[in-house]
Amino acid sequence: MSKIPPRSKVNKKYTWNAESVFKSAKDWEAALKATLNEIPAIKEHEGKLGASPEALLKGIQAIESISHHAQVIYMYAQFAYAVDTTNQSAAGMVGKAQGMAGQVAAAVSFLNPELLKIGKETLNAWMKTNAELAAYRQSFDDLFRQQAHVRSAEVEEILGMTADPFSGPSNSTSMLVNADFKFEPARNKKGKKIPVTQSNFYSSLLEDPDRKVRQSAFESYHDKHLEFKNTLAANLSSSISANVFNMRARRFHSTLSASLFNNNIPEEVFHNLINTFKKKLPIWHRYFEIKRKALKLKKIEYFDMWAPIAKKKAHIPFEQAVDHISESLKPLGEEYVTTLRNGCLKDRWVDSTPNLGKMNGAFSYGSPGTHPFIMMSYTGEIGSMSTLAHELGHSMHSYLTWKNQPFVYSGYSLFVAEVASNFNQAMMRAHLLKNVADRNFLIGLIEEAVSGNFFRYFFQMPILARFELETHQRAERGEPLTADSLIELMADLFTEGFGPKVKIDRPRVGMVWSTFSHLFADYYVYQYATGISGAHALSARILRKEPNAAEDYLGFLKAGSSAYPLDVLKNAGVDLTTSKAVEETFAIMEGYIDRLEELVG
């Protein structure tokens, strides 16, 4: 898009339904104050939970109530800021919401220590006589699994209070790169200037057929990050230090074990993924060479990875994209498809139009009692349609979990989050590859799959996971994390990943870490790769028309956190404790590459 509109000029039809949550900022402010006023009543339950099953249930319900209110208030502020980071009012709301969330976290921190004090034997006895309390069995079992890492009530309160200050590095980075960064314009081969923004960099400029646009946009974007490399490195280093602090405070032997322990994930899952990725790099090297030849380049570079091979981009209006996605998901039943369609076309789940100040990327976000909203920049191309399908997977996962689970299980772990999103994309591609004959469209579709989705999830994310592991291990050893050391490490990992036939601009490619806010959520990125693996294994079951495959998958979506992530996936038909699903997904990707090679000759 050559012209990005201000937020005030965006058609309301394509904005999130903010008024369904709070009718005005004044109502939001009132809700925040009311939630803070609930804190003294919460503290009255402290020290009394062990008196009886009824006292425990009453205390838990009060904690859930204030936690739910805090979730909605926090979500509203974050979403309002994400769609317009230049909105100072929204930025102020985020600050207030974070402060409120920190106070609530500290106020409710007595729950787990008191549950541990009551003891598992007593809780089991109480659950036999109180059906409402019995609903918390999985939650209690998980707490006692983690008992060795739960500290005293006083320490837990202090750890709860760290949530607000520890979010500082992430917030500082977000404000810097999304609100303060002003990028030099890109230029096309005729010298015409094109604006570079967070909302059009990945979704439009890197996919431009004009190599001059891609290169100048890439250089502009990364040069701005390089200009502030020391600040960005200091922020990431501070975030990693916070992870090391929490690891030691909770008595884990490493940050990796601390992060994976929360979801009961064996460390072997992480290492199996990395080892399989390294083993399968020749598949990627083959793809990069096919793409280089198709683009008729002497040397292919990082910024060429999204370059279109198809001679003409398909234009897919938002409503048509919803049609394609809905049609592909018919095997999941009428109720699923109708809910998805209404969310997109009637209930305004999706904030889809690019605008100035809109945050880069896309995400799904909500809370029980709200819609599962989506923030993205829809540009009418196959990649945007795929992103919409992806985020709708998240939203339908949330919708069905909220509909079928009590508040205690209304979330789901990051480990399973990327399964539902990639599942939708896998189903959409299978449907379109089967039903569309246009060669140009098919090339574009496969390009989106490999250069867009798989390149991000099965190439960049494993590399970032290796980067994350190494930086955390260095911090654990007390080694400094400087801007130059981070750049060198990132450049080395991408050089190995790309292989000898891809040209590497080391300073700029080395700054890629600073463009992924995911690194502020410790050990998140590897889960993109395990998620896409689980997604393709589950979608393959449905596409092969295995008995109960669709029902098993819907059961996965409805389960929330009512069981451990690996168990929820096993119940749906995929075991991620082995490398089978990862191997199967690499085979599917290789099939796409084979088909692409045939299409481009």
- The CATH number of whichever domain residue 271 belongs to comes to 1.10.1370.20
The structure tokens listed for 540 are: 């393959």
pLDDT 10s digits, 530-582: 999 999 999 999 999 999 999 999 999 999 999 999 999 999 999 999 999 99
Task: Let me know: does 389 contact 422? Beta carbons within 8 Å.
Answer: no
Query: Residue 7: pLDDT above 70?
Result: yes
Identity of the amino acid at 503: K
Q: Alpha-carbon dihedral of residues 6, 12, 14, 15, nearest 10 degrees? A: 80
Using the structure block, give the residue that is written with the tokens 């929490």.
Answer: 246
- List the catalytic residue out of 157, 391, 447, 468: 391
Main-chain phi, psi angles of 364, to 5 degrees: -110, 135
DSSP reduced 3-state for 546: coil
pLDDT 10s digits, 137-150: 999 999 999 887 87
Whether 557 and 451 share a structural domain: yes
Within a domain: 190: no
Kind of pairing, strands 186-187 and 193-194?
antiparallel
Within a domain: 412: yes
Q: DSSP states of 258-307 as a string?
A: HHHHTTT--HHHHHHHHHHHHHTHHHHHHHHHHHHHHHT-SSEEGGGTT-
Residue 1: per-residue pLDDT: 46
Task: Spell 525-551 as b/e; 16+ CB within 10 A means b.
Answer: bbbbbbbbbbbbbbbbbbbeeeeebbe
pLDDT 10s digits, 107-128: 999 999 999 999 999 999 999 9
Whether 151 and 270 share a structural domain: no
pLDDT 10s digits, 513-538: 999 999 998 899 999 999 999 999 99
Q: Which residues contact 281 (CB under 8 A, 6 or more apart)?
A: 496, 497, 499
Residue 2: per-residue pLDDT: 53
CA dist., res. 381 & res. 387, Å (int) = 10
Band (153; pLDDT cuts 50, 70, 90): confident
Whether 281 and 415 share a structural domain: yes
Within a domain: 414: yes
Task: Let me know: does 328 contact 428? Beta carbons within 8 Å.
Answer: yes
CA dist., res. 320 & res. 313, Å (int) = 15
**Domain endpoint, select from 166, 188, 223:** 166
Helix axes 111-118, 53-83, angle to 10 degrees: 150
Residue 385: per-residue pLDDT: 96
CA distances to 8, 15, 50, 78, 378 from 11, rounded to whole Å, are 9, 7, 54, 21, 13
Whether 19 and 140 share a structural domain: yes
Task: Let me know: does 563 contact 264? Beta carbons within 8 Å.
Answer: no
Query: Residue 240: pLDDT above 80?
Result: yes
Whether 157 and 278 share a structural domain: no
Residue 161: per-residue pLDDT: 86
CA distances to 405, 459, 475, 593 from 124, rounded to whole Å, are 21, 46, 41, 54
The structure tokens listed for 437 are: 């004959």
Within a domain: 62: yes
Helix axes 267-279, 461-476, angle to 10 degrees: 130
CA dist., res. 46 & res. 43, Å (int) = 5
Instruction: Report the domain count for the chain.
Output: 2
DSSP reduced 3-state for 174: helix
Whether 141 and 289 share a structural domain: no
Within a domain: 427: yes
Q: Which residues pair with 187 in a beta bridge?
A: 193
Task: Let me know: does 498 contact 504? Beta carbons within 8 Å.
Answer: yes
pLDDT 10s digits, 335-353: 999 999 999 999 999 999 9
CA distances to 424, 442, 445, 597 from 592, rounded to whole Å, are 17, 10, 10, 9
Q: Alpha-carbon dihedral of residues 60, 61, 66, 69, nearest 10 degrees? A: 130
**Domain endpoint, select from 166, 186, 207:** 166
Neighbours of 387 (CB within 10 A): 27
Q: DSSP states of 367-416 as a string?
A: -TTS--EEE----SSHHHHHHHHHHHHHHHHHHHHHHHS-GGG----HHH
Q: Which residues pair with 363 in a beta bridge?
A: 375
Within a domain: 318: no
Task: Let me know: does 99 contact 161? Beta carbons within 8 Å.
Answer: no
Task: Let me know: does 66 contact 59? Beta carbons within 8 Å.
Answer: no
Mean predicted lDDT score pLDDT of the chain = 94
Range of the domain at 533: 259-312+408-601
Q: Which residues contact 178 (CB under 8 A, 6 or more apart)?
A: 85, 198, 357, 359, 360
Q: What percent of the chain has pLDDT over 70?
A: 100
pLDDT 10s digits, 208-224: 999 999 999 999 999 99
Task: Let me know: does 425 contact 393? Beta carbons within 8 Å.
Answer: yes
Q: Which residues pair with 188 in a beta bridge?
A: none
**Domain endpoint, select from 116, 138, 166:** 166
Over residues 238-261, the mean pLDDT reads 94
Work out the burial of residue 598: count CB atoms within 10 Å of its CB; fewer than 13 is exposed, 13-18 middle, 19 or more buried.
exposed
Whether 440 and 557 share a structural domain: yes
Whether 126 and 274 share a structural domain: no
Whether 120 and 267 share a structural domain: no
Task: Let me know: does 110 contact 153? Beta carbons within 8 Å.
Answer: yes
DSSP reduced 3-state for 253: coil
Over residues 249-261, the mean pLDDT reads 93
pLDDT 10s digits, 403-432: 999 999 999 988 899 999 999 999 999 999
- The CATH number of whichever domain residue 113 belongs to comes to 1.20.140.70
Within a domain: 442: yes
Is 391 designated active site?
Answer: yes
Within a domain: 95: yes
pLDDT 10s digits, 421-469: 999 999 999 999 999 999 999 999 999 999 988 999 999 999 999 999 9
The structure tokens listed for 534 are: 């689980």
